[in-house]
Amino acid sequence: MEPSSRIRILSWNVRHLQGDPLAVHRVVRAADPDVFCLQEGPRLPGTQGQFQRLARACGMHHLAGGRTAGSNAVFVSGRIRAKDVAAFTFPLGHWRDNRRGAVLASVQLLEGGPALRIASVHLPLDQAQRLGHVRSLSRQLADFGLPAVLAGDLNEAPGGESWKALEPLVADPAPKAPLTFSTVSPRRRIDAILTGRGIEVLEYGVWTPDPRDARLASDHLPVVADIQVRG
């Protein structure tokens, strides 16, 4: 395997960027991802520029996302080309609910090789709503017939109904991965990168951030996976 065929994915709930922005930048730069799937970005009107500033500070390109995707976003490095990008929100179950959504994109290395379809998503707290979003997202992930990766805050521990509902398309590649919430006292694993057929996971959960920066930046720990798309 050539090292250049490796794609590093970072998935992270950044708590609406309410923490130390410099700590966020340091964590992302230290992880050095090819694809950064962000959850809980800024959600208020007029905050779209924060995504652009985050991208510049981290040396990445803001591909899509923001309020149009329920505060999820996808960023890519200069090694990645992307197409068929979609940012959308799910229907609200109740007017008081937080608006949820997702960003999907087909990505591949600039030098070539097979593409994959990736989604960045933040699932709801309510179980029935989570399952509804999972079913909708699974259909959209499968539409392109590419190997699939789902990265996000699932708001549910492994073995939950949403994890099970996703299994026909993507599954947990690292059942013994570290806990992700909270940064102060990790006790639950609710953030994950799930992978489908055609994806080889080379490393998962091996890279860890500076603990102090992680605590300053967010209440969730980032998740990093190095993968390779089988040709």
Sign of torsion, CA 52 120 122 227?
negative
Using an 8 Å Cβ cutoff, are 225 and 171 in contact? Answer: no
Confidence of residue 95 (pLDDT cuts 50, 70, 90): low
Residue range 101-117, pLDDT digits in tens: 999 999 999 999 999 99
Q: What is the pLDDT of residue 44?
A: 73
How far CA 41 is from CA of 38, 119, 189, 206, in Å, comes to 7, 15, 20, 25
Q: Average pLDDT, whole number, for the chain?
A: 94
Whether residue 3 is predicted with pLDDT greater than 70 in this model: the reply is no
Q: Write the pLDDT tens digit of every residue in 166-216.
A: 999 999 999 999 999 999 999 999 999 999 999 999 999 999 999 999 999
> Closest Cα partner for 182 from 208, 157, 218?
218
User: pTM for this structure?
Assistant: 0.95
Q: Decide which of 98 and 22 is more confident.
A: 22
pLDDT band, very low/low/confident/very high, at 37 (cuts 50, 70, 90): very high
Tokens for 211, please give them: 């603990």
Give the pLDDT of residue 12: 98
Q: What fold does the segment set 3-229 form as a domain?
A: Deoxyribonuclease I; Chain A (3.60.10)
List of residues 6+ apart from 187 with CB closer than 8 A? 179, 181
With b for 16 or more beta-carbon neighbours within 10 A and e for fewer, the 75-106 pattern comes to: bbbebbebeeeebbebeeeeeeeeebbbbbbb
Mean pLDDT (whole number) for 51-66: 96
Longest distance between any two alpha carbons in the chain, whole Å: 50
Q: How distant is the alpha carbon of residue 165 from its chain centre?
A: 18
Backbone angles phi, psi at 89, to 5 degrees: -115, 150
Distances (CA, A) of 124 to 70, 103, 156, 195, 204: 11, 15, 9, 21, 25
Residue 47: what pLDDT? 72
Domain boundaries, the chain: 3-229
Residue with tokens 């993507």: 170
pLDDT bin (cut points 50, 70, 90) of residue 1 is: very low
